[in-house]
Structure 1
Amino acid sequence: MNKRIAVILPACNEEVTIREVILAFHASIPEASIYVIDNNSKDRTGVLAAGALMEAGIPGRVISEPRQGKGNALRRAFQEVHADVYVLADADLTYPANRARDLMRPVLDGDADMVVGDRHSGGHYSEQNKRRLHGFGNDMVRNLINLFFKSNLRDVMSGYRVFSRTFVKNYAILVEGFQVETDMTLHALDKRFRIVEVPIEYVDRPAGSFSKLNTISDGARVLFTIAQILRYYRPFAFFGSIALIAMLLGLLAGVPVIHDWLTHRYIYHVPLAILAASLGTVSVGMLSIGLLLDGIAHQQQIRYELHLLSQTSEPGDG
């Protein structure tokens, strides 16, 4: 194939599992280089990872990223690692390394820009995942994304993914934490990159390995990220929704005012009249902003598509 393959393993305090994960991916993809992103670990994660790479003679290295957060770790990896195919996985033994080639195949065949390991279709994720509220949040986020982007994705938060070089080198990571999986999914949908989902088996963390996820705070960050993405990439839907809510509230506040005028030809509910007028002004303003930004977003989409075309054009093309 003559394809450069890079396995990216973001790791924070994963000394219990990091060595086994490295050896498992090396056994599955012996031709790949493996890069461990030591994300401010307080244990021996970096030392054990470097030792495993050296002892097994695996090409790659440990990259240190002191800024906490998976998004920061991936930003450093995508800046420093150059390959044709990128395999991303967590360093906690939850994803099967022996399925890496199945995920790589659509990218290698030119059929996908991003392949996602679908935990929901491929195994007993609901049984293995002990965080019920976390699972509920995943479902809610997935349904919101499918609604707004007219997609039919099964797993938008999987950490097991394969990317083409085109996707990686044209993806600006602007988030810092675990919401990065949602962000890259939304980016792929908005920029019309081809997404393929491959069912995989998910296994919960082994004993002694602890998750850094916080269901409430990380869930709030993911929802905030979706709101931000809608504001940037679907501004008409975002501001149009605010306009609709303001209009409905204005109409509700204006009912007593209209009743006063029709009955007495005089307005007794002056505060409600002011509130209704203000909400109406807000509604018109939000709708105008949404229309303006929607036009700007469309122009940005055109420039992005032309940028991608310029990267794929052959030398000498007219």
Structure 2
Amino acid sequence: MKLLIQIPCYNEAETLPHTLSLLPRQIEGVDSVEVLVIDDGSSDATVEAARAAGAEHVISLPHHSGLALAFSAGLDACLRLGADVIVNTDADGQYEAADIAKLVAPILRGEAELVVGDRGVLTNTWFSPLKRRLQAWGSRVVSRAAGLDIPDATSGFRALTRHQAMRTLVLSEYSYTLETLIQAGNQHARILSVPVKTHPPQRPSRLMHGVRDYLMNSSVTIVRSYTMYRPLRVFTYIGGVLFLIGAILIIRFLVFFFQGNGSGHVQSLIVAAVLLISGFQTWLNGLLADLISKNRKIMEEILYRMKREEKVDE
């Protein structure tokens, strides 16, 4: 059983050595523990610091691509390196390194394929009151979209099996946390949360540049991910609303018509017709999107089997 701890980094030369020094090198039930550092186009000495601090593997992206792409590149590298279990953590030491064993334990027991570290967002004193509410709101929305109960959906401290990593596709350029949970939930993966400790932030977040930025990017990610896996439901709701409004306007016109005032409300009839046609077209788009979704699932399965065969060939 090989465990790889991956750490996406961007200009973390100062904090990385301390973070690496705290990582566990022996975990019960695991034969070997190795560290992979993903340098996301840093302009400082992050690569040199990682190697000097004892990271067995370091990969460098050609330019700064963002956390989501760095996470995805790390998963691909971990798979190539033969990892059976992958743990993702941050370079700034936010998460308690000793809790990695808690993340891995449910996987080793065969109880989960993805384990998320729960920071206790509602009671965490390191978060501002506004951030607590936003994190809790985001977790509830993602839980509904994924069909799960995840108290801390935005936590990047997580462990996953090799097979779950093969099934993980990151399309967002903002963050991987929300998208991959919705994806895993719709793949019916076994997902658990475990409470973990956190430390005070050493610097402002480089991912969230204010509340507006967080809300915009998170909302787009949630809507896109949910629509990708439940297109028929989404388009049915939208088409249903348009159809309902159109039906109400038609009924309104008919009421006035039978009262002898129909000639003055022709506009309602025209708007109703447009809404009814739009609602019907939206339903048709939903059917088309559902067929595309099925084809995407077939492509995901082909990609998963290709990755699995690569391991067999090795």
Secondary structure of the residue aligned to 1:269 is helix
Counterpart position of 1:115: 115
Give structure 1 stretches of 5+ with no counterpart.
none
Question: Structure 1 27/205 Cα, relative in aligned 2: closer, same or farther at 3 Å?
Answer: farther
Counterpart position of 1:199: 195
- The root-mean-square deviation of aligned C-alpha atoms, in Å, is 2.8
Question: Structure 1 109/308 Cα, relative in aligned 2: closer, same or farther at 3 Å?
Answer: farther
Letter in 1 for 2:134: G
Counterpart position of 1:19: 17
- 8 A contact 2:140–2:151 mirrored in 1: no
Counterpart position of 2:40: 39
Indicate yes or no: 2:77 matched with 1:80.
Answer: yes
Mapped partners of 2:305, 2:42: distance in 1: 40
Secondary structure of the residue aligned to 1:264 is coil
Mapped partners of 1:78, 1:95: distance in 2: 19
Instruction: Return the offset for 1:300.
Output: 5.6
- 8 A contact 2:8–2:91 mirrored in 1: yes
For each residue in 1:117-155, what CA deviation from the matched residue of structure 2 results, as whole angstroms up to 9, or x when unmatched? 01127x942x1113x433333222222233344322211
Mapped partners of 2:305, 2:25: distance in 1: 37
Counterpart position of 2:217: 221
Instruction: Return the offset for 1:65.
Output: 4.9
- 8 A contact 1:13–1:41 mirrored in 2: yes
Mapped partners of 1:211, 1:142: distance in 2: 19
Instruction: Return the offset for 1:304.
Output: 5.7
Indicate yes or no: 2:156 matched with 1:155.
Answer: no
Task: Map 1:1-318 onto structure 2 (within 5 A).
Answer: 3-27=1-25, 31-53=32-54, 58-81=55-78, 82=81, 83-120=83-120, 124-125=123-124, 127-130=125-128, 132-178=129-175, 180-206=176-202, 209-212=203-206, 213-214=208-209, 215-254=211-250, 256-264=252-260, 266-294=262-290, 297=293, 301=297
Give structure 2 stretches of 5+ with no counterpart.
none
**Deviation larger for 144-153 or 15-24:** 144-153
Mapped partners of 2:110, 2:301: distance in 1: 18
Mapped partners of 2:197, 2:239: distance in 1: 44
Instruction: Return the offset for 1:286.
Output: 1.6
Mapped partners of 1:239, 1:135: distance in 2: 32
Mapped partners of 2:65, 2:303: distance in 1: 32
Mapped partners of 2:219, 2:8: distance in 1: 23
Secondary structure of the residue aligned to 1:274 is helix
Letter in 2 for 1:271: Q
Mapped partners of 1:216, 1:244: distance in 2: 30
For each residue in 1:251-310, what CA deviation from the matched residue of structure 2 results, as whole angstroms up to 9, or x when unmatched? 454454233212116331223221111111111222233245445545765786798799
Mapped partners of 1:200, 1:304: distance in 2: 32
Mapped partners of 2:123, 2:5: distance in 1: 25
TM-score, with normalisation over the residues of structure 2?
0.85
Mapped partners of 2:133, 2:248: distance in 1: 33
Letter in 2 for 1:190: N
Question: Structure 1 68/306 Cα, relative in aligned 2: closer, same or farther at 3 Å?
Answer: closer
For each residue in 1:232-253, what CA deviation from the matched residue of structure 2 results, as whole angstroms up to 9, or x when unmatched? 1101221112112212332454
Question: Structure 1 147/258 Cα, relative in aligned 2: closer, same or farther at 3 Å?
Answer: farther
Mapped partners of 2:4, 2:304: distance in 1: 22
**Deviation larger for 218-227 or 87-96:** 218-227
Instruction: Return the offset for 1:80.
Output: 2.1
Instruction: Return the offset for 1:160.
Output: 0.2
Letter in 1 for 2:14: V
TM-score, with normalisation over the residues of structure 1?
0.84
- 8 A contact 1:89–1:161 mirrored in 2: yes
- 8 A contact 2:114–2:161 mirrored in 1: yes
**Identity among equivalent pairs (%):** 23
Mapped partners of 1:173, 1:229: distance in 2: 10
Letter in 2 for 1:193: A
Mapped partners of 1:156, 1:233: distance in 2: 18
- 8 A contact 1:236–1:293 mirrored in 2: yes
Letter in 2 for 1:144: V
- 8 A contact 1:6–1:87 mirrored in 2: yes
Secondary structure of the residue aligned to 1:152 is coil
**Deviation larger for 214-223 or 291-300:** 291-300
**What is the aligned residue count?**
301
